[in-house]
Each structure stands twice: as C-alpha cells, then as structure tokens.
C-alpha cells in the first residue's frame, strides 16, 4: 500500500520526477567527466568544463566549452554518448507518458488510483508504452549507425572498429538531437556528402517529431484524415519550417563565399537543407556558423526558439505550441468565437497553456540575454544566438561559448537545464492542474492594443 501510494504521489508531482532525474544524471556525468581518465591529457577537466559538458549531454544540447575531439579521451566520449542516450530516452519516455496522461488515452491516473485501491502492482500499459519508446529509439539508432558505419568504412577508409565507433556515437547524438561530433569542425568536412548529411538529418527529424507522432505515422500513414491534431500540427508545421528555413538560407547565404558561395548548386541545396534541419534542435553544423550573415543568425534564432515536436528529443517551445498560437491568431483575425483545427475544436485550456509557455519562454530569453550582455563583451546578435541555442537545447554557436567566462557559462548551464526540463515540466503542470470555480465574476471589457 505504501509503495503504491508513493508511486501515486510521484505522478501527482511530475516536476519533481523530471527535475530530480535530470539533476541526478547531470551530477553523475559531472563526476565522471571530472576524472583524469576522461581527458586525453590525463588531468582533470575541472568542475566547470565537466559540469557544462555533462549538462549539455544530458539535456541533449551540444554546446561545448572544450573541443570534443581533442580534449576528451575515449572514456570521456563514451560517457558523453551515454549521457546523451540517458537524456534522450528520459525525455521521450517522460514526455510520452505525460502526453498519454494528459490525453487520457490510456487512463494512467485512473489506473494508478485503481492500483492503490486494489493493492495490485501490474502496470501493463506503462510498461508497454516505455518498451515501445525504448525499442523505437534503439532501432532508429541502429539503422543510422549501420548507414554511417558503412560510409565511414568504405567511403573514407576508416578502420572497421573506428568506423563502428564513429557510426554509433553519431547515431546516438543525431537521433537524440544532441549535436556532439567527434571532429573539431563538427560536420563541416562532410558538407557535400549527401550520405552523411541526409542520414543525420533524417535521424534528427525523426527524433524531433516524437514517439506518439511517429507511431501514429507508422500505423496510419496512408490515411492522413485519421491523424490526430497533434500529428497534423507536428508534421505540418515541421514541413513548413524545413522548407521555409531551406529557402531562407539559400536566399541569404547563396553568394556568401565563406558558406554556400564556395559550393556547387546541388551542394548549396544540401547544405541549406541541413542547416535548416539542425535548429530542430540538433546542433550539428556543416557550415561555419560564425561566417553566416546576421540575417541568417536571426532566422536560426527563430527556428531554435520554436524547436521540434512534443514528446520528442527536440527542445524549444515546440512546433505544436507555435502551431496552436498560429491558429488562435487566425481565428481571432477572422472573428471566430472558437479555434478549430481541421474538424476538431481547440479547448481554451490548450490555448492558455500555449500562450503561457510562449510568454514565459520569451521573458526567460530576454532576461538571460540582458544578463549575458552585462557579463560578456560580445555583441547582441552573438549573445542572443547563444542564449536561444542554450534555452532551445540546440547546441549551435557563433563560437563564443568558451569565451563567456565562468559566470556566463554557469548561466548557459542553467539555461540548458531549464530549457530542457522547464517546458515539459510547465506543460505537464498546466495540463494536469485543472481547477473548477463555482462562481463567475462580472465581465468587464478592456482596451487591447
């Protein structure tokens, strides 16, 4: 009875589960990466570098203050990959469970109450969901690892053992939207290689869509009319952002000799598409981010802030939140009393949740940008890019991460942690906090705008 009550209590407070779990993983990763064994020099990386890297890995961000290739030993790289895997699986599992809980499709809360009352311990539905998430993730990573291993071995002459190591590491990093790479220039050496770039891009997209959406697509991809609102929003907005982002980067960087200008036309399209995918939020880059025009930085800021799908490994406010706000605005512009998506009506609670998450996120980014400007000598566009990248758990950078100083790096650590746990925690808390009021106050209109 006590054990069942403890389980019930935990699910009544999902924020505690999320924050405690991710915090424990960060602390464990920090301790392991601080060991002399974790560096190529045989000396401790120091608490700040270890903490920053561990947080970046667990929160599947990819921002770094030391060069991953030259600074960390094989042990350190394995620890980073393991932390990324733990963070990615943890995110997908927790997000999927809370999605199920909120949607009521499995009746998780009712089941837990029933178990506490009947003193049973079986949780078939929960185990079934978690098993599917884990198997789905590992299967996707295995496919990506095989494709990358084959390319590294036969296309670049890597020894088979090294090719397998590179394939597995980058499969884990890409599917979990982490952005860690084992080359100092990330993936810039493969900018014109469609095998590498498209494989990683597809892994990023699939991981960013989220398990509920991918499962529904696999089950009923031939019948879009039967898709849920979540799947329609996620797929539709993702497609729009990918196409729009590709066109924006092609238009702004086409003649930039330090980015797309040095490539042939097919290479430009490939690099622009890859650059549009990464703010989903993976953090790989095949172009020099620091060499891009400020207009491209701003476009990337917007894509990183929006992020990927709910219940996936991507960060940001999520494409579903962005899509809901777009439909709310469209309905308001047309003077419609209700917000409809397809043949479904959007409840007012979902509208308030989307507005709350978006405004809180905007405020957090604005305040953090101001603080970072005070702490560092960098320009507004550089600082904004870094802050949004950390909050959106993207990992892209203009190259100033290691130059932000101790205070700046601590702020980025907090942003990565809040950016990863905050939206999920806040979204779950808002969705599960449903109060009823037995009276209504008199209505009074105010001037808006």
Name the least confident of 57-61, 243-247, 332-336: 332-336
Share the mean pLDDT of the chain. Answer: 85
**Alpha-carbon span 188 to 291, nearest angstrom:** 12
Over the stretch 386-395, which tens digit does the pLDDT of each residue have? 999 999 999 9
Average pLDDT estimate for 236-262 = 95
Rounded Cα distance between 358 and 386, Å, is: 19
**Range in 169-178, 405-414, 420-429 with the lowest mean pLDDT:** 420-429
**Contacts of residue 326, Cβ cutoff 8 Å, sequence gap at least 6:** 237
Question: Per mean pLDDT, which range of 29-33, 70-74, 85-89, 436-440 is the poorest?
Answer: 436-440
Place of tokens 């917000």: 339
Helix axes 211-220, 194-209, angle to 10 degrees: 100
Query: Could you give the 3-state DSSP secondary structure of residue 307?
Result: coil
2-6, 21-25, 247-251, 440-444 — which one is most confidently predicted on average? 247-251
Q: How confident is the model at residue 108 (pLDDT cuts 50, 70, 90)?
A: very low
Q: Is the dihedral of CA 120, 125, 129, 132 positive or negative?
A: positive
CB neighbours (10 Å) of residue 342? 12
Residue among 250, 147, 155 at smallest CA distance from 203: 147
Cα 332 to Cα 329: distance, rounded to the nearest angstrom: 5
pLDDT tier for residue 332 given thresholds of 50, 70 and 90: confident
The whole-number pLDDT of residue 122 equals 40
Contact in structure between 16 and 94 (CB atoms under 8 Å) = no
Element (H, E) at 399: none
């Amino acid at each position: 009875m006590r054990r069942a009550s403890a389980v019930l209590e935990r699910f009544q407070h999902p924020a505690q589960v999320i924050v405690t779990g991710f915090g424990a993983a960060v602390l464990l990763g920090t301790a392991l990466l601080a060991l002399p064994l974790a560096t190529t020099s045989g000396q401790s990386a120091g608490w700040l570098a270890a903490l920053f890297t561990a947080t970046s890995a667990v929160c599947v961000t990819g921002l770094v203050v030391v060069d991953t290739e030259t600074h960390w030993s094989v042990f350190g790289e394995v620890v980073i990959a393991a932390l990324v895997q733990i963070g990615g699986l943890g995110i997908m599992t927790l997000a999927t469970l809370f999605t199920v809980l909120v949607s009521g499709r499995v009746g998780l809360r009712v089941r837990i109450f029933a178990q506490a009352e009947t003193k049973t311990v079986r949780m078939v539905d929960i185990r079934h969901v978690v098993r599917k998430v884990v198997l789905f993730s590992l299967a996707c990573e295995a496919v990506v690892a095989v494709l990358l291993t084959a390319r590294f071995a036969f296309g670049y002459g890597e020894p088979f053992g090294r090719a397998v190591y590179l394939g597995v590491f980058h499969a884990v990093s890409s599917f979990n939207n982490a952005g860690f790479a084992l080359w100092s220039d990330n993936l810039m050496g493969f900018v014109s290689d469609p095998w590498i770039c498209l494989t990683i891009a597809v892994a990023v997209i699939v991981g960013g869509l989220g398990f509920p959406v991918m499962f529904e697509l696999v089950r009923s991809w031939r019948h879009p009319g039967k898709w849920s609102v979540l799947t329609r929003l996620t797929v539709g907005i993702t497609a729009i952002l990918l196409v729009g982002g590709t066109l924006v980067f092609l238009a702004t960087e086409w003649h930039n000799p330090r980015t797309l200008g040095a490539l042939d036309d097919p290479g430009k399209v490939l690099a622009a598409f890859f650059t549009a995918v990464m703010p989903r939020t993976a953090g790989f880059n095949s172009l020099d981010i620091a060499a891009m025009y400020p207009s491209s930085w701003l476009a990337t800021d917007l894509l990183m802030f929006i992020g990927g799908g709910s219940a996936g490994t991507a960060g940001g406010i999520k494409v579903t939140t962005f899509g809901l706000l777009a439909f709310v605005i469209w309905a308001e512009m047309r003077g419609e009393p209700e917000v409809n998506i397809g043949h479904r009506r959007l409840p007012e609670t979902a509208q308030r949740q989307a507005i709350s998450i978006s405004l809180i996120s905007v405020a957090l980014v604005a305040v953090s940008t101001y603080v970072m400007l005070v702490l560092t000598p960098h320009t507004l566009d550089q600082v904004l890019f870094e802050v949004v990248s950390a909050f959106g758990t993207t990992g892209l950078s203009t190259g100033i991460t290691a130059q932000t100083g101790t205070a700046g790096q601590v702020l980025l650590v907090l942003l990565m942690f809040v950016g990863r746990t905050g939206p999920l925690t806040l979204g779950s808390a808002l969705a599960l906090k449903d109060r009823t009021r037995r009276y209504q106050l008199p209505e009074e209109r105010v001037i808006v705008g």
